[in-house]
A and B are shown apart, each in its own frame.
Chain A
Amino acid sequence: MTIYPAIDLKDGHCVRLVQGKLTNQTVYSSAPADVARRFQQQGARWLHIVDLDGAFTGTPANLKAIEAIADAVTIPFQVGGGLRRISDVEQMLQAGASRVIIGTRAVEGPDFIKQLLDEFGNERIVLGLDARDGKVAVQGWVETVEMTAIELGKQMQQLGIKTAVYTDVSRDGLLSGPNLEAIRQVAINTGLSIIASGGISSVEHINALRDMEADGVVGAIIGKALYEGKLTMAQALAAAKTKK
C-alpha cells in the first residue's frame, strides 16, 4: 500500500483544516516546497496536494506553490482542488503533477470525465470521492448532493476511472481514525482502487487499511498526524509494507 503524505495549500501556505472548515485552520509552514522535500527525504514515494483555495472557489489558485513543489522533489505527486476545466487539468499536468483529482465536476455529469479520460487516460485522472454520511460532498465539502459515494464511484468506474481518493469528510483532520467499514464498502462495491483519506493517524489504522488491499484499498493519505508528530513517515511506511 502506498502512503501519501498530504500538503494542503491555502494562500501559498501549508495548512490543515478540521473537517474541511476554513474557520478551523492551522498553518504549518509558509514554505510548502520545503515540506515536500522533507517528505521525500523521509522516504515518501508519492505526495498528495490539495489546492484548498481552488476547492472552495472553483479556480486553481496555488499554481506557484505547486510549481515550487515540482522543483523541490523528484517523486510523483497528485493534485486536487478546483480543477473544473480541461485547461485547469492541462495546466496542472504541465506544472509537473503526475495525476489530477476531479471531484465536484465528476458529480455534475459524465461528459467532463469522459473527455478527460479520452485526452489524458485513466492513469492521470483520479476521482475525488468525498463523502459525508455516505453522501457525496462537493464545492470544498460545503455542499452535499443526493447521491451516495458508491453510486458515483460505480458510475465513474463504468466510464473508465480506475482510481479514487475516498475521503470521509466528517473524519478529516480529527485524528479519530478512518471509517474502515465505509472504505471497504466503497472499494468492494465500486471496483475502484481506493486511496483512503480522513482521520488516518496511527500504525493500527494503516495496518487495518493494508489488510484491505485485497478489497482494492491501494493507498492511505496522511496529513495532520504527520504534522503533529503523532506518526512519523518511517512508521507509516513500515506499517504500509505489503505482507509477503
Chain B
Amino acid sequence: MIVIIDYGVGNLASVQNAFRQAGFSSVITSEPEQILKARRIVLPGVGAFADGMSSLEKMGLTGVIFEAVQKEIPLLGICLGMQMLFSTSEEAGLHRGLDLIPGKVRRFQLPASYKVPHMGWNSIRVADNSRLFKDIPSGSYVYFVHSFYTEPEDPQVSTAVSAYGIEFTCAVEKGNIFGTQFHPEKSGQVGLRVLRNFGELKA
C-alpha cells in the first residue's frame, strides 16, 4: 500500500487521485503504524517550510520518517515535501529540515522580470540513470508552484534540473529517498509516469 502522510497541510486528495490514475491505491494517514507498514511513503506539502516541519514534529512524524527510511521503505517528497528532506531552509529565517539529503533550500534571487513564485509548466532535463524518470525523456514538461529551490551538496543526487532564471535541481534520488520539486499530481501524463515509476521501482 502507498501511504500519503497527512500532517495537516495541503490538498492531499489530488495526490491520492493521481496515484489512482497511475494504477495504485493509497491511503492518507498520520498513523505511525500504518506509515511504517507501507510499501511506499509519500510526503506531500504546500506552504511554508517552518510550518511544515513544526507540524511533522508536533505530530511525532519526524521519528517515524527516520524509521521508515532506516527500513528502506521508498519515500517520495513532493514540493515542500522534497524541500523538507534537506538539511536547512532559508525560508523566513533559517530552519532545520529532516537532513536526509545534505544541502540547502534557497530563495530564488532573480531579476524583476521573473515572477516568484515560479508557477506553471516548465521543461526538465533528466539524468540517464534515474529510476524515477525511467522512460521520461529530457524536454518533458511538468508543473511547478514554488518560491524556493533545493541545492544538494552532492550533485550526484540531482536527477532532474529545470531552469527559471537559473538552473535548479527539480528532482533528487538518494538510495530509496526521492523528491520532486514539481507536482507530479498536476503534471499530466508525464507526472503519472513519475508516480508509476515510483510505485513500480524495486526497493
Which A residues are within 8 Å of any B CB, using their own CB? Answer: 2, 40-41, 43-45, 70-71, 73-76, 94, 96, 98, 121-123, 162
Contacts and interface: CB of A to CB of B under 8 A. Distances in A.
A76 B115 contact: no
B149 interface: no
Contacts of A76: 143, 186
Contact of A45 (B17, B141, B185, B192): B141
Given A73-B188, A74-B14, 6 more contacts: A40-B188, A45-B143, A74-B17, A74-B21, A75-B188, A96-B14
B3 interface: no
A45 B14 contact: no
B187 interface: yes
> Among the interface residues A40, A44, A45, A162, which one has the most CB atoms of the partner chain B within 10 A?
A45
B121 A45 contact: yes
Interface of B: 11, 13-14, 17-18, 21, 115, 117, 119, 121, 141, 143, 145, 184-189, 191-192
Nearest 7 Cβ contacts at the A-B interface: A123-B119, A75-B188, A74-B18, A71-B17, A76-B186, A45-B121, A74-B191
B17 A70 contact: yes
Contacts of A98: 145, 186
Given A74-B186, A75-B186, A75-B187, A123 B192 contact: no
B117 A74 contact: no
A40 B198 CA distance: 21
A121 B14 CA distance: 21
B187 A74 contact: yes
Nearest to B19: A74
B115 A123 contact: yes
Contacts of B21: 74
A45 B188 contact: yes
Nearest to A95: B11
A2 to B, nearest CB: 8
A162 B188 contact: no
Nearest to A193: B115
Contacts of A122: 115
Nearest to A67: B13
Contact of B11 (A43, A96, A121, A162): A96
Contacts of A43: 188
Contacts of A40: 188-189
Nearest to A44: B188
Nearest to A37: B21
A74 B190 CA distance: 10
A220 B70 CA distance: 49
Contact of A70 (B14, B119, B145): B14
Nearest to B115: A162
Residue among B13, B14, B115, B188 facing the most chain A CB atoms (10 A cut-off): B188
